[in-house]
């Protein structure tokens, strides 16, 4: 009996142990399941959050796509309108007119070196009349050297293009006592004109210096004469300057002349002529070089009676030579001439000689020791014959005009004839006539 009771207790203990083990396993399983469930719930929440974020991003992208689609449609519509407008303009031939307006008449270059104050005055004078027509006359400043004030002044203007010529080669003068400046100037001119004609491809260039002011009709004058320059190959260049353009010697702002003497000081050159001159450009004194017969080869220059430029440069390379006597008293034209309405065909080579001869032939001959006094006693035009250069200088000295000659040609002369007004208030023309002039003009000497 006791043995059986003992066995029962053992079984009971075993059963209790088994129950406890089962409960512990069950609890562990439940804990593991709870952890997995929590992890699953957390993963589900994370996935839900990510899905919501993805949905928001998709919605945003869809909004952007819609906006881009609307923008594209708007641009397509504008492009279609623009194409329609262009087609309409082409039908009306407006595009051809626009292109024609944009073709420059000539580039305008101001040659500068080391005078910033002079340069500013020149630029302001040019811009005063160039601004409304800037596309027809592109403006450049070409500086020789590295003067900081000049460079800064040129770059302060948005309305122009700046070029700088830096020549590091030493200058060797050909004769003792010559100024190096004239050699540097010649190099600068060649470089600048090469740039404008060959790099920028302009067909014409108007050359100014940094000590000039221009007249109100400066650009109209050059536009009117550009056609002559292109058509008549006997015209080497067109100038805005008259060496005898002082106030007391001029009267008519409409009068133009041909001359065998290169005036310079504001002049227009065509590319075809530069093609010839550039390869043989001189080392110095380029303006006097152009006045040599071997270089102008019988070609002539157009000049006005009343100057379209005024030279105020008392200080410069020429050290003020002739300034007080000949440059300061120059008359700058102040009349707005309508050059487009003027017939300038009389300046063509085949017409001008006869045109000029008719004027000279009508002038009354004057001779004697005191031709100045004789001239004052006559109301109309007069002509005074000179025998040679010495005689010319004597007569010119009485009136006060330029006495200088270059290569056998007096300043402003055409076929040896120098013309000026005296006095200007009476509009009388005085013709100083060379020994061969009447013969060249086919005028019978009376």
Q: Which residues are catalytic?
A: 287
Nearest CA among 187, 195, 102 for reference residue 141: 195
Taken as a whole, the chain contains a residue count of 446
- Name the strand (E) or helix (H) holding 270: strand 267-270
DSSP 340: G
At 241, phi and psi to the nearest 5? -120, 145
Longest dimension (CA), the chain: 188
Rounded distance between C-alpha atoms, residue 30 and residue 296, angstroms? 118
Helix (H, G, I), strand (E, B) or coil at 107: strand
Rounded distance between C-alpha atoms, residue 266 and residue 260, angstroms? 17
Rounded distance between C-alpha atoms, residue 142 and residue 164, angstroms? 6
DSSP for 189-224, written as a single string:
HHHHHHIIIIIS--SEEEEEETTEEE-TTHHHHHHH
Rounded distance between C-alpha atoms, residue 305 and residue 250, angstroms? 6
Cβ–Cβ contacts within 10 Å for residue 75, how many? 10
Rounded distance between C-alpha atoms, residue 316 and residue 6, angstroms? 142
């Amino acid at each position: 009996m006791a043995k059986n009771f003992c066995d029962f207790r053992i079984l009971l203990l075993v059963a209790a142990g088994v129950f406890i083990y089962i409960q512990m396993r069950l609890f562990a399983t439940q804990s593991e399941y709870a952890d997995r469930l929590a992890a699953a719930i957390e993963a589900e929440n994370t996935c839900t959050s990510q899905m919501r974020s993805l949905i928001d991003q998709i919605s945003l992208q869809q909004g952007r796509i819609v906006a881009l689609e609307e923008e594209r449609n708007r641009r397509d519509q504008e492009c279609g309108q623009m194409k329609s407008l262009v087609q309409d303009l082409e039908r009306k031939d407006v595009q051809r007119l626009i292109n024609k307006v944009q073709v420059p008449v000539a580039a305008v270059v101001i040659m500068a070196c080391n005078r910033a104050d002079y340069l500013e005055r020149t630029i302001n004078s040019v811009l005063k009349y160039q601004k409304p027509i800037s596309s027809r006359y592109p403006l450049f400043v070409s500086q020789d050297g590295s003067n900081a004030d000049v460079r800064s002044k040129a770059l302060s203007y948005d309305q122009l293009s700046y070029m700088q010529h830096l020549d590091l080669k030493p200058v060797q003068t050909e004769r003792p006592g010559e100024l190096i400046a004239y050699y540097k100037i010649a190099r600068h001119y060649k470089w600048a004109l090469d740039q404008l004609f060959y790099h920028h491809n302009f067909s014409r260039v108007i050359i100014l210096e940094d000590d000039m002011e221009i007249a109100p009709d400066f650009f109209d004058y050059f536009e009117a004469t550009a056609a002559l320059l292109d058509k008549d190959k006997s015209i080497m260049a067109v100038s805005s300057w008259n060496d005898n353009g002082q106030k007391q010697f001029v009267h008519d702002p409409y009068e133009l002349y041909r001359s065998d003497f290169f005036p310079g000081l504001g002049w227009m050159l065509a590319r075809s002529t530069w093609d010839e001159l550039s390869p043989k450009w001189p080392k110095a004194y380029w303006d006097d070089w152009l006045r040599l017969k071997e270089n102008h080869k019988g070609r002539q220059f157009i000049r006005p009676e009343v100057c379209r430029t005024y030279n105020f440069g008392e200080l410069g390379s020429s050290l003020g030579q002739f300034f007080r006597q000949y440059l300061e008293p120059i008359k700058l034209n102040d009349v707005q001439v309508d050059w487009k309405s003027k017939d300038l065909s009389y300046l063509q080579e085949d017409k001008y000689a006869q045109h000029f001869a008719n004027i000279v032939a009508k002038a009354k001959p004057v001779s004697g020791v005191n031709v100045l006094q004789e001239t004052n006693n006559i109301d109309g035009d007069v002509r005074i014959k000179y025998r040679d250069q010495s005689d010319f200088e004597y007569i010119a000295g009485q009136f006060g005009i330029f006495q200088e000659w270059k290569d056998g040609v007096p300043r402003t002369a055409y076929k040896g004839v120098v013309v000026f007004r005296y006095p200007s208030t009476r509009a009388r023309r005085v013709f100083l006539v060379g020994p061969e002039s009447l013969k060249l003009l086919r005028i019978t000497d009376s």
